[in-house]
Structure 1
Amino acid sequence: MRGSSDSNIAGRLLQRLGENSHLIDAATAQTLSGKDVPGLIVGFAAGFLSAGLQPGDRVLISCGLSPASTLAYLGAMYTGMVPVLVDERALATSGDLLFARARAKAVWVAKGVRCDWARKNGVKQIEGNFDARPAHSLRPAPCAEEDPAVLMPTSGSTGVPRLVMVSHGNLRANTEAIVRSQHLATDEKAMLIMPVSYCFGASVMHSHLYQGGGVVFDSRFMFPDKVLRAINTYACTTFAGVPAVYNILLRRSNLRSMRLPGLRRFLQAGGALAPESVREMYSIVPTADFFVMYGQTEATARISSLPPDRLGKKLGSVGLPLDNLEIRIVDDEGRELAAGQTGEIQVRGPSVCSGYFDDPEATERKFGDGWLKTGDFAYRDDEGYLWIKGRTSEFIKIRGLRVSFGEVEAKVAAIPGVYECAATAAQHPEAGEALALFIVADDGASIVVERVRRALPPQWTCVSVRVVPELPKTENGKIARSQLQAMT
C-alpha cells in the first residue's frame, strides 16, 4: 500500500500523547485523562470503519467546543479518511453545502446536535461517541506525506468557504514549527474557546497534544470571567484568541483583578489587534508572554510570529516567518521588492498546502508557481520583520490614496469610549470612495461619535459614523464585511 503508518499525522500524534494529554470540557467538568485519550481516538476510528466508511472517504465532522469533536476528527484521520470540518454553529446553514462540495459519504455530530438536512436527504448520519478500544488494536492507516489529511474551510467573510486540502505533511511541518516557536513543553495545557474547524483553533489543539500536553475546551466565553476562572481551575498555560476576544477581556471582564499565575502565554491571530491593546494586555498580565501571529488556512495555520521579547521594539509587526518557511514581498508584476517597500506577501515551504479541493482555477490563482499568494499587503523592515498593511480586498482608495480598513479600525478602536470598530467603503462624489464606520460604544453615543470624527486624519474622508449594538461577525469572530456593506 502506498505510504506508511509513520506518515499518518493522527497516528504520530497519538504516539506522542502522555500523562498530561487530558481533554477537558470546562462547561461540564468532563475530564478525559491522558491514559484514556489514545484508546478513545482508536475507538472513534474503529467506529467509523464499522459504520461502513473506508480509508479515503470524506466525512463531515461537526465541531463544537468539547472533546468529542476532536476525538472524531483525529479518529477519522487515523483511519485514512479525510475529515471535512464545519463549525457546529454553521451546521444547519452551510453544512449541507459543504457536504455536497466535498462529496462526503457521511456526517458525524455530537449527541443531541440536530442535523435536519441530513435526515431529510437520506445522508448517513453518525451521532455521539464510540467506546474506547485498546490503542494497539488498530494501526493508523498508511499514507503518504502529500495525501490529504483534512479539508479545512477557509475563514472568509463571504459565501460558502472553499475547502483547503491540508496534507499529513503540512500538518506535521506546521505543528512542529509552532512547537519550536512557542517553546512548548510536555506539561502544557491550552484553553481553547475556538472550534477546531477554524485553523487557529486546530493549530492550538495539534501543537499541544503533539507535545504531550492537553486541551481544555470552554464554550462559555459570553461570560468571560468564567473562562478566566477555568484557566486557573485547570492550570492552563496557554490562552488563544482573535482580536475581538482580547477586546472583550480588556473591556468586559475582570481580568485586571484576577491573577493568572500559571498562564505562560497569550496567542493572538485572526486579524490585527491594536498595538495599544497588546501593550495593555501585557501590562495586566506581565508574567505571560504575548505572541502576535499571522497565518492563513492555505498555509495550514501559522506563517509568522513576533517573539515576545521583541514586543517593545517591534510592536505592530507580525514578526518573522516560522523557521521552515520562506517569505517574499512582490509587486503587481511579481517582482521581489526590497526591504521597506510594500507589496503582496507570498509564502513557500512545507506547510503551504497544495490547493483547494475540486477547484483547479482557484488553486492556480492562489498557489501557482510554488508560492502561496496571500492577498495581504506588507513590507519587511531591515531585520526581516513583517509589517502588514491590509488585504487586497480590505483597502479603499480615497482620492487615490490607498487606505487599509485594518489601520482605520485599529486607530478608532484605541479612542476612549470605543469598544469595537468596523469600517467599510461608501461611494463619494468627490473622493471616489470614503469610509463608513460602525462602532460599538462604551460611553454615550453622541460623545463617542464626536471623538471619532475629531480623531480621523483629514485625508480619511468619512461619510458616516454609526453606533450599533454589535458588529456582524463570522463564526470565527472576524468582521463579516459583506454584512457591513448591506448596512451602509
Structure 2
Amino acid sequence: MNSDILNFWKGHDPGRIAFEHDGYKITYNNLAGNIAKRVTYFQQIGIREFDHVALSISDQMDYIEMFLALWCINATIIPIDFQISPSNFWKIIKESDTHYLITNNIKYFNEIKRYDFQNHNLKKVVLIGENKIEVTDVNFDENKISWLAEQKNTENSGFFILFTSGTSGDSKGVVLKKESFINNVHKVISYTELQDTDILLMTLPLSYSFALSQVCAHLIVGGKIILSVNNVYNSLTLFDIKEKKVTNYSATPYFYETLVKELEAKKEAMDVGNLRFFMNAGGYINPTIIEEIVKRFSSVTFYNNYGQTEACPRISYNRFDINTTDFKGVGKPLAGVEVKILGDDGMEVENNTIGEIVYKSEDLMLGYYKKNVLDSDQYFLSGDLGYISNSNLVIVGRKDSILKINGRKVYKNYIENSIFELPYVSNVKLKKERHSIYGEYFCAYVVPKDSDDNHTIIDKIYEFCKKNFNSYERPKKIVICKEIGLSSNKKVQLRL
C-alpha cells in the first residue's frame, strides 16, 4: 500500500496534468522530476528515514512536492498550518521532536535564536526562498531520541504527525501510520468510484488530514487536482467548478450552509457543469442543507462522511441524490471499521438511543504523540454523540454540545437547525456560556438575512423559541453578528 503513493506516476500517461496552480500546469512527468530533485536535496542536507521533519510552507504546490519527497524518503512528516501563531508553532516543533524544520516563513527562520531549545532534537532550519535556500544549523542534543523511536511497535511503513486542537483547544499530536492512511484512501477511491478523468478543486488547507486524503486519492488514480488561489467559500466557488470542469468538490459544513442561504436569496439555478459529487469534509451538517443541495443540483451526488483525524480520517459515509427521501445519517461503517454506541454507564445501548460513538478501525492512529500507543483491538472514544437506526449511523453532535439543565439533556444541533431554517436568519451558531449564578446556558449568535433592526429580529427568535422549545431548551441570550466566518483550519469563528 505504501508504494502506491511513492510510485503514483507509474502507469499514468506522463503527459497527463497532475496539478493546476496559479496559472501553471504540472504533468505527472514534471511532478515526478520535481519530487526526485527535492529528494536528492533533502538527502544532501542530511534528512534520513524516520527523521522528524516539520513542514510549514504557504505555497501549495511547493508544499505538496516537499510532502511527497519526504514521503519517498520515509521521513516522519509533521505538516503545520502556516497561519498558526508563533507560540503554537514553536510549541509543536518542540513537542514533536522535530529534527528538521522546512519553511518559507522568514520570521521563523530569524526567530530561531530567540527560543529555548535546550534538550531538543532540532538539527537544522531550512528557509525556502524565491531564488535561494538557506540552511541554519541548531545546537541539538545528540543523545536525545524521539518518542517514536522509543516505541517497540513502530513500523517500516513510517508515520506522519498531525497536530489538532480538537474541541478542547489543547494541541494533540495524532500519529498516523502511512500504510493505514493509504488503506483508508483506497476505500474512498472505491466508494466514490474515482477515475483518471476526475478533477478535484481543492480549497481546504493541505495540513488537514481530509485534504491530504483527497489529494492522494486523485494522484493514485491519475486524476487532476486544481489548487485554488481564491480564498472564498460561497457561491462564487460554483463558477470555478463550472469553468474548470471540476468533477468533485469537498468542503466543510460552513460552505454548504452559506451556499444554500445565498441560492435562496438569488432565486436562480446555478450550473455546475461536469460536477459528479459534493462531499462533506468533516463535522456535523444539517440534513436540511444536504436535501437543499441535491434538490438544486439534481445531477450531483452528495457524500456525507463521518471521520476524525485519528481514524485516518474516514469512518463511514452516506450517499444522497435526487431520489433520496431520508437525509439523516452518515451510513454504515467502512470495511475494517466497527461502530458502537455507549451510554453514560459505558455499556452498549439499543438502536435509536443516543450515546457516545466509539469505533474500532484497522486504520486507527498509532496514538497521541508522547501520550499513548493504542491497542489495535480497542474501541476509541470519539467524543461524538449519535445513534444507530436501521444500520445507519446518525450524528447528533459533540459531547460538549449537550447541556444538562436541572437534569434534562439539551441538544445544541436540534436548536441550531431549527433557528437556521427561519426565513429571516442567514446563519446561526450556538455556544455554551456560563452564568455565575444560574450555570451553563446556550447563547445564539445570529447573522440576520433581512433589513429588520436587531431588536426586531431578536424578538422574533425569542418568540419562535418560546413556541417551539421547552423552557429549559431555549437560548438564554441572542447576539446579532455581522458574519460567521472560518479560521485558517476552516473552523467557525464569530465576527460581531
TM-score normalised over the length of structure 2: 0.84
Work out whether 1:381 is the aligned partner of 2:389: yes
Aligned residue among 43, 61, 77 for 2:37: 43
- How far apart are 1:66 and its partner, in Å? 2.2
Q: Is the 8 A contact 2:359 2:380 kept in 1?
A: yes
The yes-or-no answer on 1:349 pairing with 2:358 is: no
For residues 46-57 of structure 1, the aligned pairs below 5 Å read 46-57=40-51
1:65–1:193 contact (8 Å) kept in structure 2: no
Question: Which residue does 1:135 correspond to in 2?
Answer: none
RMSD: 3.1
Which amino acid letter does the alignment assign opposite residue 455 of structure 1?
F
State which of 235, 244, 248 in structure 1 corresponds to 2:245: 235
Question: What are the residue-to-residue correspondences of 1:431-450 with 2, within 5 Å?
Answer: 432-443=439-450, 444=452, 445-450=454-459
Gaps of 5+ in 2: 116-122, 133-152
Relative to structure 2, which stretch is displaced further, 237-246 or 309-318?
A: 309-318
SS in 1 for 2:92: helix
Pairing 1:399–2:411 present:
no
Aligned to 1:370: 378
Offset of 1:210 from its aligned partner?
Answer: 1.6
**Equivalent in the alignment of 1:263:** 275
Change in Cα spacing, 1:146 to 1:338, as seen in structure 2 (3 Å) is: farther
Q: Which amino acid aligns with 1:11?
A: L
Q: Which among 279, 290, 293 is matched to residue 281 of structure 1? A: 293
Q: Which one of the candidate residues 440, 446, 462 is aligned to 1:453?
A: 462
- Paired AA for residue 399 in structure 2: T
Residue 451 of structure 1: SS of its match in structure 2? helix
C-alpha separation in 2, matches of 1:96 and 1:300: 25
Q: How many residues align?
A: 460
Greater displacement, 106-115 / 258-267: 106-115
Note the 1:59-458 alignment, pairs <5 A.
59-64=53-58, 66-90=60-84, 92-110=86-104, 116-118=110-112, 120-121=114-115, 124-127=125-128, 147-222=157-232, 224=234, 227-252=237-262, 256-309=268-321, 312-360=324-372, 370-382=378-390, 384-427=391-434, 432-443=439-450, 444=452, 445-456=454-465, 457-458=469-470
2:20 paired residue number: 24
Q: For the Cα contact (< 8 Å) 1:449–1:465, is it kept in 2?
A: yes
- Do the aligned partners of residues 106 and 91 (structure 1) sit closer, same or farther apart at CA in structure 2, a change above 3 Å counting? farther
The whole-number CA distance in structure 1 between the counterparts of 2:110 and 2:398 is 37
TM-score, scaled relative to structure 1: 0.85
Higher-helix-fraction structure:
1
Cα distance, 1:16–1:128 mapped onto 2, change above 3 Å: farther
Residues 1:339 and 1:318: Cα distance change in structure 2 (over 3 Å): same
Return the offset for 1:110: 4.3
Between the aligned partners of 1:468 and 1:317, the Cα distance in structure 2 is 30
Segments of structure 1 that go 5 or more residues without pairing to the other structure are 1-5, 132-142
CA contact (8 A) 1:181 1:322 kept: no
- Quote the Cα distance in structure 1 between the aligned partners of 2:12 and 2:62: 17
CA gap 1:111/1:430 in 2 versus in 1, 3 angstroms: closer
CA distance in 2, matches of 1:52, 1:130: 21
Distance 1:104 1:118 in 2: 13
Paired residues of 2:261 and 2:426 also in contact (CA < 8 A): yes
- Shift in Å, 1:206: 1.6
Bigger shift: residues 400-409 or 371-380: 400-409
AA at the equivalent of 2:126: Q
Range with bigger deviation, 169-178 or 104-113: 104-113
The 3-state SS of whatever aligns with 1:187 is coil
Is the Cα–Cα contact under 8 Å of residues 166 and 354 in structure 1 kept in the other structure?
yes
8 Å CA contact 2:35, 2:66 repeated in 1: yes
Change (3 A) 1:124 1:9: farther
- CA distance 1:66–1:112, shift in 2 (3 Å): farther
Aligned to 1:314, what secondary structure does the other structure show? coil
Structure 1 position 62, deviation (Å): 1.7
Pick from 7, 19, 22: which aligns with 2:2?
Answer: 7
* Cα separation, 2, equivalents of 1:146 and 1:408: 48
Structure 1 residue 144: Cα displacement: 8.0
- Superposition deviation, residue 148 in structure 1: 3.6
Largest Rg, 1 or 2: 2
> 1:355, CA displacement in angstroms?
0.6
How far is 1:35 from its partner?
2.4
Q: Cα distance 1:256–1:379, how it changes in 2: closer, same or farther (>3 A)?
A: same
**Amino acid of the structure 1 residue aligned with 2:457:** V
Q: Percent identity?
A: 20
**In 1, are the aligned partners of 2:341 and 2:386 still within 8 Å (CA)?**
yes
> How many Å apart are 1:270 and its aligned residue?
2.1
Contact 1:170/1:300, CA 8 A, preserved across alignment: yes
Name the amino acid aligned to 1:196.
Answer: L
